Amino acid sequence: MSDPVTPQDLVRWSEALAGIARTGLGFTESLYEQERFEEVLAVAADMRVAAGSHYDVDDLVHEWMRMVGKGVPGYQTPKVAVGAVVGNEKGEILLVQRSDSGVWLYPTGWADIGYSASEVAVKEVAEETGIDCEVVQLLAVLDGLRQRFTRIPLYSLVFHCRATGGELIPHPLETRDVGWFSLDNLPEHTVGVDQWGDFARRALGGESVEVHFDHPRIPTWRGEHEA
């Protein structure tokens, strides 16, 4: 007997359907197909609202339609975020307290056009914390919907970095506080440790760490609840 459908399942399926429909709208020239894709968007919006979205259906459809582009620019793909697990000579991890939510996490931000992923990691660390660093290796590629730390399609690339200089200076808008912490004494409201704590500990401890990624589900599409 299969597991019951969860709100996270509905979010995943809704986003997948909406992505297919928006991509179709970006490529089709058929008015008939445009109508069908718009109906698919409405069904996807119904699913998203049923999962607990704060949107209503019409607003969500309007928001999705606004994101439709023509041709290749309209092909829908996950957003990309880049994070950095930064260590110092004491084996401590660099964390930031976000201004918007108050939670603590390693420095992370959206991938910027014109930069490689590793360059984004270095840039985000400097901007959010004032610390200079160098990239050691890629630690993880995480699917935000699969790992349930986001409600939008998102891949997070997490790099291990080594501090090389600078001083702790929080970003005036994005960061409420910054600091170095032992992995055994993280601040209250540190989020996602179940996802990143193990590979962060091994990397900061000097161990060789294989890149962590979400293995394919079987079957790949119809999302089971176990990885």
Query: What is the residue-averaged pLDDT of the chain?
Result: 89
Please state the pTM of the whole predicted model. 0.74
Residue 81's φ and ψ, nearest 5 degrees, are -110, 150
CA pseudo-torsion sign 8, 13, 14, 19: positive
User: How buried is residue 220: exposed, middle or buried, by Cβ count under 10 Å (0-12/13-18/19+)?
Assistant: exposed
At 53-109, the pLDDT tens digits run: 777 888 888 888 888 888 777 778 899 999 999 999 999 999 999 998 999 999 999
Residues 6+ apart with CB under 8 A from 201: 183
Please report the domains of the chain, with CATH numbers, ordered by start residue. Answer: 7-74 (no CATH), 79-213 (3.90.79.10)
Residue 159 contacts residue 85 (beta carbons within 8 Å)? yes
- One-letter identity of residue 220: T
For 203-216, how does the pLDDT look when each residue is reduced to its tens digit (9 = 90+)? 999 998 999 998 88
43/53 Cα distance (integer angstroms):
14
Instruction: Look at residue 224 and tell me whether its pLDDT is greater than 60.
Output: no
